[in-house]
Structure 1
Amino acid sequence: MLTVPVRQLGEAERPAVERLLDRDPYAAAQVAERVAARGLSWWRADGRILGYGGRRQVESLCWLGGHLTPVLAGPPAVAAFADQLGGEDRMCSSIVGEADAVLGLWDRLADRWGPAREVRPNQPLLATGAEAPIRPDPQVRLVRAGEVDRLFPASVAMYTEEVGVSPLTEDGGRGYRRRVTELVRSRRAYARFVDGEVVFKAELAVVTRRTAQVQGVWVAPHWRGRGIAAAAMAAVVRDALSRVAPTVSLYVNDFNVPARRVYARCGFRPVGTFATVLF
């Protein structure tokens, strides 16, 4: 029997949750953004936060919504979260977060939640707090509200290439288009246009007071190999640091050597390792 129970946390424990999230500002960014926006009340949040620890102490967290994300979860917490979650049907589309915790959860949940469509066990988590040491591309800019129709096909292509399934499958893409539109509206979507075509794009998919996390980085296939990505990313970093957050972070697949070279040229340095289990 577990001597330290897992429990669902509520708004009364928000200060303790925020202190814990602040201890791991890069790996916990996705959860921190949701807590800041929606709090912990079940009727407002778009997911649940489970806590591990004594009654007056929260040692680890696990966010369960569209994604399952453990935060500061060592082996005892991973075992406790898996014991709790294994009795539920899987509702999340992925498990993502710090690699040891994600892979530990998957080891314990695979028999009940499997099979996975793909497991990515080694995704370097990178961050920078300084502008890139290369000249930013002056043609990379924020996408305007009237340009969503031009951006959306590039976003679909990026998602399909990266995740392995199309975002148009479930509802014809309506939900994904809303997400793209919201990123544009909130001034978090960047692109370089050539003759009206998107040849580079990236988004600040997660924003907290500690970091802006870049996702959705994509170069049009017929523009790859021309060396545009590093300068384009430098432009994103410069704007994000000046306008949004004190650091910029991202995670990348270990096998994506060209992307890792681009990020290194832009001054990103390792701050951890992620893993992702895709369903």
Structure 2
Amino acid sequence: MPPVTVQQLVAKDTDALRALLAKDPAHNLYLLGLLQEYGIATADNRCSFSYWGRFDGKTLTAAVFVGGSGGLVVPSASEGAFTGVIADALAERVRLKGSVGEKPAVDALVRSLCVGKPRLSKTYRLFSVSADDLGPFTNPLLRLAREEDVPRLVPLAAGAIREIHDRDALAEDPHFEARVAQRVRARRTYVLEENGELVFKVDIGSRSQFGAELEALYTVPSQRGKGHATLCLGQISRFLLSSLPRLTLRIEEKDESLARIARKVGYLAGRTQRLVLTE
């Protein structure tokens, strides 16, 4: 049997990493987007992120993205035991602050890289859709957010964070509005406006040639039950799938209403995901 090793990935491993992730693109869209946008950093401690891989001989069999010395740790869609080998190797250098990915892989990361009990742990189902699966739901009034929308958009973005992460982003993050504005400038936020009020938003969290991941889908509470989420999810899905092969959306296991909306639009449920925050 070939020896099992854990190594930090370098630029020459880019093709191997892309090939590994592309074996299950729906469940690896987040990492595929990061890889396309930022590539693999050189093996330099000053870099703000790194990739680590489990090798069977010379074959890459699992990978983990580490951003900010553990601020965000994202495993590839691989066997939990494979991820555990990487986590054990990183135990002395990484303290996990946040992680998202397939539940067995995240469980392995938490066991090796978490000190104490996570502040937040939620399970999700990953939903995915292709153009052939879409239903007839559209709302052509959904549009890209603009710079002048940011003051009205910030409360919606904060509401989404509150519901997803149980955090008060406005109180805890002095740069929160700047982050919202940056996402708008990057053309990654779509909004629905009615009677001068923003009532719905959705973000493109990650994008690559393999597809895009939608996140932070949020309807203002007073506007729920009016079909905004169904029509707008259908609209952005139809728009993005005109040039991409697939979309994904993480939905909390207990959020039955959003799961019904996703299924109605044409999304199909995939494997279980876990989100962990320690701070």
The C-alpha deviation readout for 1:151-197, integer Å capped at 9, x for no partner, is 1221112112211112234441x1x3333223222322111112322
**Contact 1:183–1:205 (CA<8 Å) still a contact in 2?**
no
SS in structure 2 at match of 1:202: strand
Residue type matched to 2:227 in 1? G
- Match 1:47 to one of 40, 46, 49: 49
The Cα of 1:212 is off from its aligned counterpart by 1.1
- Aligned CA distance change for structure 1 residues 96 and 61 (closer, same or farther; 3 Å): same
The C-alpha deviation readout for 1:256-278, integer Å capped at 9, x for no partner, is 00000000000001232211112
TM-score by length of 2: 0.89
For residues 276 and 241 of structure 1, the distance between their equivalents in structure 2, rounded to whole angstroms, comes to 26
- Match 2:103 to one of 90, 94, 99: 99
SS in structure 1 at match of 2:258: helix
SS in structure 1 at match of 2:252: coil
**Contact 2:211–2:245 (CA<8 Å) still a contact in 1?**
yes
- Aligned CA distance change for structure 1 residues 271 and 226 (closer, same or farther; 3 Å): same
The Cα of 1:45 is off from its aligned counterpart by 5.8
Residue type matched to 2:75 in 1? P
For residues 51 and 105 of structure 2, the distance between their equivalents in structure 1, rounded to whole angstroms, comes to 16
- Aligned CA distance change for structure 1 residues 93 and 134 (closer, same or farther; 3 Å): farther
Residue type matched to 2:167 in 1? V
Q: Is 1:11 the counterpart of 2:16 in the alignment?
A: no
**Contact 2:41–2:49 (CA<8 Å) still a contact in 1?**
no
What is the RMSD computed on CA atoms of the aligned residues?
A: 2.0
> Percent identity, aligned pairs only?
26
**Contact 1:191–1:198 (CA<8 Å) still a contact in 2?**
yes
Residue type matched to 2:15 in 1? P
Answer with 145-154 or 43-52: which moved more: 43-52
- Aligned CA distance change for structure 1 residues 214 and 72 (closer, same or farther; 3 Å): closer
For residues 89 and 61 of structure 1, the distance between their equivalents in structure 2, rounded to whole angstroms, comes to 15
SS in structure 2 at match of 1:28: helix
Residue type matched to 1:34 in 2? L
The residue number in structure 2 matching 1:246 is 245
The Cα of 1:108 is off from its aligned counterpart by 4.0
SS in structure 1 at match of 2:4: coil
For residues 179 and 144 of structure 1, the distance between their equivalents in structure 2, rounded to whole angstroms, comes to 14
For residues 112 and 47 of structure 2, the distance between their equivalents in structure 1, rounded to whole angstroms, comes to 27
SS in structure 1 at match of 2:169: coil
The residue number in structure 1 matching 2:65 is 63
SS in structure 1 at match of 2:111: helix
Residue type matched to 2:110 in 1? W
For residues 210 and 146 of structure 2, the distance between their equivalents in structure 1, rounded to whole angstroms, comes to 26
**Contact 2:63–2:83 (CA<8 Å) still a contact in 1?**
no
The residue number in structure 2 matching 1:78 is 83
Residue type matched to 2:269 in 1? P
For residues 263 and 155 of structure 2, the distance between their equivalents in structure 1, rounded to whole angstroms, comes to 28
The Cα of 1:58 is off from its aligned counterpart by 0.9
The residue number in structure 2 matching 1:128 is 129
SS in structure 1 at match of 2:25: coil
For residues 255 and 86 of structure 2, the distance between their equivalents in structure 1, rounded to whole angstroms, comes to 31
The residue number in structure 1 matching 2:223 is 223
**Contact 2:78–2:105 (CA<8 Å) still a contact in 1?**
yes
Aligned residues: 270
The residue number in structure 1 matching 2:208 is 208
Residue type matched to 1:4 in 2? V
The Cα of 1:233 is off from its aligned counterpart by 1.0
The residue number in structure 1 matching 2:235 is 235
The residue number in structure 2 matching 1:34 is 34
